[in-house]
Chain A
Amino acid sequence: MHKLLLKGGRVVDPQAGEIFAADILIVEGRIAAIGPGLEAGECAVMDVAGKLVAPGLIDMHVHFREPGFEAKETIASGSRAAARGGFTAVACMPNTDPVADNRAVITYIKNRAEEAGLVKVYPIAALTRGSRGEELTEMADLKEAGAVALSDDGHPVASAAVMRRAMQYARMVGLPVISHCEEPTLSAGGVMHEGYMSTVLGLPGIPAAAEEIMVARDIILSEYTGCPLHIAHVSTSGSVRLIREAKARGVPVTAEVTPHHFTLTDRAVADYNTSTKVNPPLRTEEDVAALKEALADGTIDVIATDHAPHTLEEKDVEYQLAPFGLVGLETALGLVWTELVIPGVLSPVEAIRKLTVNPARILGLKEGVLKVGADADITIIDPELTEVVDPATFASKGRNTPFSGRRLQGLPVATIVKGRVVYNRDLAVIA
């Protein structure tokens, strides 16, 4: 019988909202006991003294690029990056080639994830066929195949009529809709936030209004159709205001923010480093402050990375030619700790909640909690450990990060999926 005892750690329980000293016993991939001073007889023991023992982190917004763009990332390399970043489960966006708009691609993704055998990979299916914003996908079939949500992500549905039908149908099927909010005629041609920096740099801008108009539209449609709406990567203070008002009215809306949006501003674009080219773009200090406030007051439910790997060659060009996106899985927890927990924006429990229970709730997953009988998906965090980000060490194929050289504190030291250690940063295991 395979047993593992996590000894001497402090358990983070985001559901109960507390941190307490306890050991955790894992038997055959499941949590068998949580409590002080557990003795397990003949058993492998991991000494986690001084560490936080949290439910496995869930990233509900990644791009694993397979099938179709394996040079950027594969499900295997993405899974390794997730494990190294402390994530035990991820939800991957459907903008692959072919698009994940049918059962075959969803099944393929699940099979590849199974073969990689590291973290749990939950596919998000396309909302419309080919993400073209015209015809609805076979949502019921996709759900049956394993899709946990619906989104056209990088290709926002331009037609309000199509979006309305999609949300009506998704509600019937029982899948949430994740919306990348961007009004395409306002953002067309833009490569960075429209403001002082775009003026000085001479780069075409994407105004905050391009996001906010769509946030407003989709909130109105969510209210009208009753379909749960999750707003991906919120980046502006105006979006925050709209979401806050909608939640107060009882609209079934949730929202996420990425570590790069709560850490960086458009000033990071100053030397035309293409790793700062993301969509939505890095915004202003005022927006960053609003995002932090929204994290603190619960307007923003989730922290997700929008992990978007690209090859070196694709990014090593003129700013306007480079694709949007940066890699986030392996810097996420360190940024959450350094930028939010240490300065007191979020308590450790609140931060963990936005990385576990909340994304699980939105996607309808059973993960994200530590309780007896549940899968032993666990992330062990050393809140004191510091490290300078070095993209050369990434497990992801992507090296496109604007955080190279930044010192982060609060890092994952072990990742356990169904009782199996899939990442271990030299924690001693005594057999």
Chain B
Amino acid sequence: MNWKRKDILGLQNLSAEEIRLILDTAVPMKEILGRAIKKVPTLRGRTVVTLFYEPSTRTRTSFELAAKYLSADSVNLSTSTSSVVKGETLKDTARTLAAMGADVVVLRHPMAGAPNLLARTIPAAVINAGDGAHEHPTQALLDMFTVREKMGELAGLNVAIIGDILHSRVARSNIWGFTKMGARVRICGPATMIPPEIEAMGVQVCTRMEEALDGADVVMMLRIQLERQQQGLFPSIREYARLFGLNRKRLALARPGALVMHPGPMNRGVEISPEVADGVNSVINEQVTNGVAVRMALLYLLGGGGMPDA
């Protein structure tokens, strides 16, 4: 199939074919990453702007490296949230970038729907690098790429996503992505962090971790933000770790060889024990590498470059 979309705003509206195309395109990109000289001329002369209204060294660096490996010019613009409220609007900032000739704008924003607003405003391609509690499509794509690489197929797998589902854009994008590809998804977390009517997204909801882990092929742990305790969403870190932390004993409930994933950064000893984070099942570091490959694939598809020099 041919790529037709201008933007990547989320996985909710992508078809299984489109997701497959992105994952397939990431395969030769990953091969480039394995070379001694990691640079191809694919996007020479194209400009990628990363516009981050929320700090995220990891995602921003991943996009910037992806752009550089494809020979695009990349510029980073980091803005604090307060400036959104006080000063220039997102639309004005975006129009300025478009007027300066940006071909692709990668947006990270604390508010859901901000990339949709941007995509409606400017002719440049917009990639959602995480918007509020809405979606984080590139994270989910790199997660799916990693699982596919290890397991061969996504269809039929049991995926458990555990933690703060309510605030997690990673969880939402992964739910759309994995269910579209034929996997079964279970979510688990404190009852206060399970958003209403999420079953209608096609997932099974568990509040006991043992239930979520039973027979899981993939265990995806989410980062718990410690300030949620102040908001009264759970009573203590201690109790959270006791009920929803992944340790070796609990991991034994999953299938042998189950993959352990985490979008990072981790609270070691809270949602995941160090022995599991660094254990044989963990693919956490590979997720990071694959993130660059998947983002190269997206920039390639959206940036309108030539075929990669494979």
Residues of A within 8 A of B (CB): 194-196, 198-205, 207, 271-272, 313, 316-321
Take A199-B197, A200-B201 as given contacts and tell me if A321 and B116 are in contact as well, using a CB distance cutoff of 8 Å: no
**B169 adjacent to A202 (CB under 8 Å):** yes
**A194 adjacent to B196 (CB under 8 Å):** yes
Cα A210 to Cα B133 in complex, Å, equals: 22
A207 contacts which chain B residues (CB < 8 A)?
A: 196
Cα A207 to Cα B91 in complex, Å, equals: 30
B91 contacts which chain A residues (CB < 8 A)?
A: 316-317
For the complex with contacts A196-B196, A198-B195, A321-B84, 11 further pairs of A-B residues with Cβ separation under 8 Å are A199-B195, A200-B12, A200-B172, A201-B112, A202-B133, A205-B196, A272-B116, A272-B117, A317-B90, A318-B109, A319-B112
- Closest chain B residue, CB of each to CB of A207: B196
**B90 adjacent to A201 (CB under 8 Å):** no
- Closest chain A residue, CB of each to CB of B121: A316
Q: Is B215 an interface residue (CB 8 A)?
A: no
Q: Which of B104-120 contact A (CB under 8 A)?
A: 109, 111-114, 116-117
Take A203-B132, A316-B91, A318-B117 as given contacts and tell me if A195 and B197 are in contact as well, using a CB distance cutoff of 8 Å: yes
Jot down 10 A-B pairs with beta carbons below 8 A, ordered by A. Answer: A196-B197, A200-B12, A202-B113, A202-B133, A202-B169, A202-B172, A203-B133, A203-B134, A316-B89, A320-B111
**A196 adjacent to B200 (CB under 8 Å):** yes
**A318 adjacent to B195 (CB under 8 Å):** no
In whole Å, how far is A157's beta carbon from the nearest beta carbon of chain B? 24
Cα A272 to Cα B200 in complex, Å, equals: 20
B198 contacts which chain A residues (CB < 8 A)?
A: 196, 199
Cα A194 to Cα B172 in complex, Å, equals: 16
Q: Is B85 an interface residue (CB 8 A)?
A: yes
B133 contacts which chain A residues (CB < 8 A)?
A: 202-204
**A318 adjacent to B201 (CB under 8 Å):** no
**A203 adjacent to B195 (CB under 8 Å):** no
Q: Is B64 an interface residue (CB 8 A)?
A: no
CB 8 Å contact bits of B185-210 with A (1 = contact, 0 = none): 00000000001111011000000000
- Closest chain A residue, CB of each to CB of B118: A318
Count residues of B near A (Cβ-Cβ below 8 Å). Answer: 26
**B134 adjacent to A317 (CB under 8 Å):** no
In whole Å, how far is B46's beta carbon from the nearest beta carbon of chain A? 27
Cα A199 to Cα B90 in complex, Å, equals: 24
Residues of B within 8 A of A (CB): 12, 84-85, 89-91, 109, 111-114, 116-117, 131-135, 169, 172, 195-198, 200-201
Take A201-B134, A202-B132, A202-B133 as given contacts and tell me if A319 and B196 are in contact as well, using a CB distance cutoff of 8 Å: no
- Closest chain A residue, CB of each to CB of B131: A202
B172 contacts which chain A residues (CB < 8 A)?
A: 200, 202
Cα A204 to Cα B113 in complex, Å, equals: 12
**A318 adjacent to B113 (CB under 8 Å):** yes
In whole Å, how far is A208's beta carbon from the nearest beta carbon of chain B? 10
B200 contacts which chain A residues (CB < 8 A)?
A: 196
Cα A317 to Cα B114 in complex, Å, equals: 8
In whole Å, how far is A281's beta carbon from the nearest beta carbon of chain B? 13
**B12 adjacent to A318 (CB under 8 Å):** no
Between A196, A198, A318, A320, the greatest number of chain B beta carbons within 10 A of the residue's beta carbon is seen for: A318
- Closest chain A residue, CB of each to CB of B200: A196
A194 contacts which chain B residues (CB < 8 A)?
A: 196
- Closest chain A residue, CB of each to CB of B112: A202
- Closest chain A residue, CB of each to CB of B90: A318
- Closest chain A residue, CB of each to CB of B198: A199
Please pick, from B109, B113, B196, the residue contacting A199 in the complex, using a CB distance under 8 A: B196
In whole Å, how far is A311's beta carbon from the nearest beta carbon of chain B? 13
**A317 adjacent to B89 (CB under 8 Å):** yes
In whole Å, how far is A198's beta carbon from the nearest beta carbon of chain B? 7
**A201 adjacent to B201 (CB under 8 Å):** no
A313 contacts which chain B residues (CB < 8 A)?
A: 89
- Closest chain B residue, CB of each to CB of A271: B116
In whole Å, how far is B242's beta carbon from the nearest beta carbon of chain A? 27
Cα A205 to Cα B133 in complex, Å, equals: 12
**A320 adjacent to B85 (CB under 8 Å):** no
**B196 adjacent to A195 (CB under 8 Å):** yes
- Closest chain B residue, CB of each to CB of A318: B111
**A321 adjacent to B196 (CB under 8 Å):** no
A320 contacts which chain B residues (CB < 8 A)?
A: 111-113, 132
Cα A271 to Cα B7 in complex, Å, equals: 14
7 nearest A-B pairs in the assembled complex, by CB-CB distance: A202-B134, A272-B113, A202-B133, A196-B197, A202-B112, A199-B195, A318-B111
In whole Å, how far is A370's beta carbon from the nearest beta carbon of chain B? 48
Cα A143 to Cα B94 in complex, Å, equals: 51
Between A195, A202, A316, the greatest number of chain B beta carbons within 10 A of the residue's beta carbon is seen for: A202
**B132 adjacent to A198 (CB under 8 Å):** no
Cα A201 to Cα B12 in complex, Å, equals: 10
